[in-house]
Structures are given as structure tokens and as C-alpha cells.
């Protein structure tokens, strides 16, 4: 089983590498496809931030707005 791990930063980092507006996501999924600003994930999707852990069958992440659209069996755990 292949696992994909990405760190997605939404926004632009300054030269001093100040925190970005929406923070960072840690993303794992079996399948990953990018179409413009939208990342389509499927197969055991895990999206983790400082505030929550989301698990779903599928999810789309808009990398411009940091909006997440999960589908299928969705579970969210707040930290």
C-alpha cells in the first residue's frame, strides 16, 4: 500500500518564514490528483491540522481558500 504525505501551506511565506494565514495541513491518501487549486484525494484520506484530525473516504482541498470537502465515511476529531 502506497501512502502519500504532503505538507500544504496555504498562502505565501515571507522571507522570514512567518506563519501562513491558514496554517499547515498534513495529508495522507492512497490517490492524489491536482486540478488547478483543488487537490482531489481518495482512499483512506487523513487530513491533520493543529486543531483537528479528519478521516474520510474522499476529500477535496482548495489550496487557495483552505476549504475541505470530505465525502463518504467522514470522522472528525477535535484536538
Q: What's residue 21's pLDDT?
A: 36
**Max alpha carbon distance in the chain (Å)?**
40
pLDDT higher at 66 or 10 = 66
Q: What's residue 25's pLDDT?
A: 77
- Which range marks the domain in which residue 40 is found? 4-78
Model confidence band, residue 49 (pLDDT cutoffs 50, 70, 90): confident
Q: What's the domain count of the chain?
A: 1
Cell of 55: 478521516
Residue 38 has pLDDT above 80, yes or no: yes
Q: What is the mean pLDDT of residues 68-72?
A: 95
pLDDT in tens, 6-34: 444 433 333 333 333 346 778 889 998 99
Q: What is the pTM of this model?
A: 0.68
27 closest CA partner among 9, 1, 14? 9
Amino acid at each position: 500500500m502506497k501512502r502519500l504525505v504532503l505538507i500544504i501551506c496555504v498562502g505565501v511565506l515571507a522571507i522570514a518564514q512567518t506563519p501562513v494565514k491558514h496554517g499547515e495541513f498534513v495529508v495522507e491518501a492512497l490517490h492524489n490528483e491536482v486540478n488547478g487549486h483543488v487537490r482531489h484525494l481518495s482512499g483512506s484520506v487523513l487530513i491533520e491540522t493543529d486543531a483537528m484530525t479528519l478521516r474520510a473516504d474522499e476529500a477535496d482541498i482548495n489550496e487557495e481558500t483552505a476549504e475541505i470537502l470530505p465525502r463518504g465515511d467522514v470522522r472528525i476529531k477535535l484536538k
